[in-house]
């Protein structure tokens, strides 16, 4: 795999653990979601390892590897809408299939998301997005029964540019993870970007890790990307349903 060859040439010690997880992630997703080789995914992961790509960019690339046009996805933390737009572009198709169910507890966040959609997608694409001012622990209340969800994405923490006191919490994040687990189809993904630099962030990461660690190996592949020498860097967690 070129990612491994590339990194062994530069050989930064901190990459070793990430590389092992990266290798297993690529093999796992490749074998379950698509037989088409996507070299850009490897390039972006290597970019992350060498500090040139953000955690959210890696998350988007992993989504692209899992998602198909026409899929139904959930943005569990809309915030300023960047993730909503990214996933909409991946699932919206010409015939009006593909839906994003977005939620946030702050109206300000949903307004920002709506404005970003106005600026970046067509009206027809925007109609495929449904925004709800609710806690993500209640996601099952707003989706039609038995909806087949391919991706539930969490970008945890506070609204950038907003009130830093309004943050995701371990308790509701765990409830939302339990709800996501039930809604996800085989080959689906729960994706999390977890921020540990604010009060409660470290505890929330521990909650996410405990949830993922407890899932059975036969049914789930769970992995984590973490910068070892940047303790406050966001942590990526991917929970893939085989
Ligand atoms: N995905 C966003 C983007 O692309 O701009 C960034 C999300 S931001 C880091 C986290 C968001 O989670 C904030 O807007 C916050 O209001 C929201 N949030 C906090 N607790 C929540 C909850 N229980 N349910 C849903 N959203 C929540």
The mean per-residue pLDDT over the stretch 181-199 comes to: 97
The residue ranking higher by pLDDT, 154 or 28, is: 154
The per-residue pLDDT for 76 is 99
The mean per-residue pLDDT over the stretch 104-127 comes to: 98
Give 37's pLDDT tier (boundaries 50, 70, 90). Answer: low
The answer to whether 223 and 59 have CB atoms below 8 angstroms apart is no
The per-residue pLDDT for 9 is 32
Name 130's Cβ contacts closer than 8 Å, sequence gap at least 6.
99, 100, 101, 102, 142
The per-residue pLDDT for 61 is 93
Residue nearest to atom 19 of ligand 1 (CA): 168
The per-residue pLDDT for 36 is 53
Please tell me the distance between residue 80's alpha carbon and the centre of ligand 1 in angstroms: 8
The residue ranking higher by pLDDT, 242 or 9, is: 242
Please tell me the distance between residue 223's alpha carbon and the centre of ligand 1 in angstroms: 22
The per-residue pLDDT for 6 is 29
The mean per-residue pLDDT over the stretch 143-159 comes to: 97
Lowest mean pLDDT among 31-40, 66-75, 161-170: 31-40
Please tell me the distance between residue 82's alpha carbon and the centre of ligand 1 in angstroms: 11
Residue among 63, 78, 161, 201 to mutate when testing ligand 1 (max atoms within 8 A of CB): 78
**Does the global pTM surpass 0.75?**
yes
The mean per-residue pLDDT over the stretch 68-97 comes to: 97
Give 41's pLDDT tier (boundaries 50, 70, 90). Answer: low
Looking at 13-169, list the stretches that DSSP marks H as alpha helix, in order from N- to C-terminal side.
15-33, 39-49, 55-66, 82-91, 107-120, 123-126, 139-142
Checking if the pLDDT of 40 tops 90, the result is no
Checking if the pLDDT of 29 tops 70, the result is no
Checking if the pLDDT of 31 tops 50, the result is no
The per-residue pLDDT for 13 is 37
The per-residue pLDDT for 168 is 98
The per-residue pLDDT for 27 is 40
Average pLDDT of the residues of the chain: 87
Checking if the pLDDT of 19 tops 90, the result is no
Residues lining ligand 1, CB < 6 A?
A: 77-83, 103-106, 109, 135-136, 155, 157-159, 166-168, 172
The tokens for 228 are 């070892």
pLDDT digits (tens, 9 = 90+) for 203-233: 999 999 999 999 999 999 999 999 999 999 9
Q: What angle do CA 179, 184, 186 make, to 5 degrees?
A: 150
| 3-state SS assignment for residue 215 | coil
**Is 219 exposed, middle or buried, given 0-12, 13-18 or 19+ CB atoms closer than 10 A?**
exposed
How many residues are given for the chain? 242
């Amino acid at each position: 795999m070129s990612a491994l060859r590339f990194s062994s040439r530069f050989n930064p010690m901190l990459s070793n653990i990430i590389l092992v997880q990266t290798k297993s992630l690529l093999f796992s997703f490749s074998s379950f979601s698509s037989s088409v080789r996507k070299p850009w995914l490897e390039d972006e992961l290597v970019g992350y390892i060498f500090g040139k790509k953000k955690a959210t960019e890696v998350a988007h690339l992993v989504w692209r590897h899992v998602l198909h046009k026409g899929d139904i996805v959930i943005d569990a933390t809309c915030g300023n809408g960047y993730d909503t737009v990214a996933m909409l572009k991946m699932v919206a198709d010409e015939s009006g299939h593909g839906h994003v169910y977005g939620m946030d507890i702050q109206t300000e966040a949903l307004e920002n998301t709506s404005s970003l959609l106005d600026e970046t997608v067509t009206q027809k694409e925007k109609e495929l997005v449904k925004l709800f001012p609710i806690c993500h622990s209640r996601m099952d209340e707003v989706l039609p029964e038995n909806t087949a969800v391919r991706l539930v994405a969490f970008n945890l923490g506070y609204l950038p540019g907003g009130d830093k006191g309004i943050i995701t919490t371990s308790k509701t994040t765990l409830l939302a993870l339990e709800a996501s687990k039930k809604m996800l189809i085989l080959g689906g993904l729960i994706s999390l970007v977890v921020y540990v630099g604010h009060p409660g962030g470290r505890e929330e990461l521990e909650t996410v890790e405990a949830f993922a660690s407890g899932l059975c190996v036969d049914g789930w592949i769970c992995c984590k990307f973490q910068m070892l020498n940047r303790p406050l860097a966001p942590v990526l967690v991917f929970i893939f349903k085989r």
